[in-house]
Amino acid sequence: MVALARKTLVYEWRRFLPAILAVCFAGLLQLLQAALVLGIFGSASVYITGSSAQLWVGYPGTQSVNLGRPIDEGVEMRLRMDPDVVRVEPFRWVDADWRGPKDTGGVSVFVSGIDPRPDGMMFAQALPPRLRALLNEPDAVIVDRADLENLGVSVGDTAAINGHRVRVVGVSNGLRALGGVNVVSSLDTARELDVDPQDSGRVTYFVASVRDPARSREVARRLSGAASFGSYAVWTKQEFARRSQMYWILDTGAGAGVLFLAGIVFLVGAVITSQTLVAAVVGSVREYATLNALGVGVGALRKVVLEQAFWVGALGLVGSATMGMLLLALARSRSVPVALYPMPTILCLGLTMLLAMVSGLAAMRSLRRADPASLLR
């Protein structure tokens, strides 16, 4: 079989270049915007992804980690009774008001009350044991390096949270919050800072680790089933992180923005690609008509055009993937928040391939001009 589509693509690459570039940039834009959105909104779930616990137990229907409500202490008993659960740890979330020593006004902060033991699960990835130990001191807090300026403090300074005096004992890295500033304290300190009478000493979440992390989904389902210890819900780490991110993506309207931009990119890419492919078909229309006169069916000719679209898409995707990797590496090295997971990547690249194939279908229509009778004049 003579590889007409491929040979033409190689020989007339200049003609196909605009289409390949259009596919390449469309793919690249989709990848970059997905990576940026996931990167920015990934910090909405830093509490979950920065911790080692596989299960999160909170108030039923909680949409995002920052929207947690107090749950019954009895839940802890229920968790500890389960043979698959090896450790349980409370986590207290407090929305609070920060007043620094400098005149920064009130800053809205999220206080995370965690167990400061060296092997504690909360922020196991984000806080090394040396920093955690500092939290054992009463009224000690840790803030993120990136927030020092906003809070108007440096290490060793004192400030007030909800009117309660605290002291900054250390700084963390990579604990930036969305819509506020993260402050980490021990569970006891957080309890002091919690002035909401509704909370009345109750914690916001329990986190747990299970014997076999691969089975955490199954364990979460089982624990969710029994409601005899009050109302609570159990999510796996991945579920809750996703839930929190999706809440922020949708709540801020970023999701609609992403879809809008993805649609525009798709449209512009498809217009350029299909026009280029149409021009290529029209440029060879007499040759196609000759093949049809010799008895090569219209279906076979359409296949050639579609195959051309496929190769244009494949070459464009190789370009998108290569440039995407380079640019994401560059972004990471400049601490631009970017994150890309397999599913979104496949989705972006799949959408781009779809763009190429849709353009191929559009170009196929211009084969109708390949009427062999028109060669006889």
Partner 1 sequence: MADSAPNASLQARHVAKSFVSGRLRSTVLHDLSLDINPGELTLISGPSGCGKSTLLAILSGLQRPDQGQVMALGEELSRLDQHALERFRLRHTGFVFQGFNLFPALNALEQVELPLSYLGLTPAEARRRATASLEEVGMGPRMQLRPSELSGGEKQRVAIARALAKEPGLLFADEPTSALDAANGQIVIDILHRIARSHGTTVLCVSHDPRLVGHADRVLSMEDGRILSDHVAAVPAPPAPPFSASMESSA
1 in contact with partner 1 (CB under 8 A)? yes
Among 85, 207, 289, 367, binds partner 1 (CB under 8 A): 289
First-to-last alpha carbon distance for the chain, in angstroms, is 31
Q: Collapsing DSSP states into helix, strand and coil, what is residue 209?
A: strand
292 in contact with partner 1 (CB under 8 A)? yes
Among 19, 48, 114, 291, binds partner 1 (CB under 8 A): 291
For residue 140, the cross-strand partners are: 167
- In the block, residue with structure tokens 């970059």: 32
Contact 243, 60 (CB under 8 A): no
* 106 Cβ contact list (under 8 Å, min separation 6): 97, 98, 99
The letter for the amino acid at 153 is: V
368 in contact with partner 1 (CB under 8 A)? no
Among 18, 180, 337, 372, binds partner 1 (CB under 8 A): 372
Among 294, 333, 343, 368, binds partner 1 (CB under 8 A): 294
Minimum CB separation of residue 315 from partner 1 in Å reads 16
287 in contact with partner 1 (CB under 8 A)? yes
Strand-strand pairing, 140-144 and 164-172: parallel
214 in contact with partner 1 (CB under 8 A)? no
The letter for the amino acid at 98 is: W
Strand-strand pairing, 205-210 and 106-114: unpaired
Minimum CB separation of residue 303 from partner 1 in Å reads 11
- In the block, residue with structure tokens 């659960």: 85
297 in contact with partner 1 (CB under 8 A)? yes
Nearer to partner 1, 7 or 80 (CB): 7
The half-sphere exposure of 20 on its side-chain side, counting CA atoms within 13 A, is 17
Minimum CB separation of residue 29 from partner 1 in Å reads 31
Binding site for partner 1 (CB under 8 A): 1-2, 4, 7-8, 10-12, 284, 286-287, 289-298, 300, 372-373, 375-377
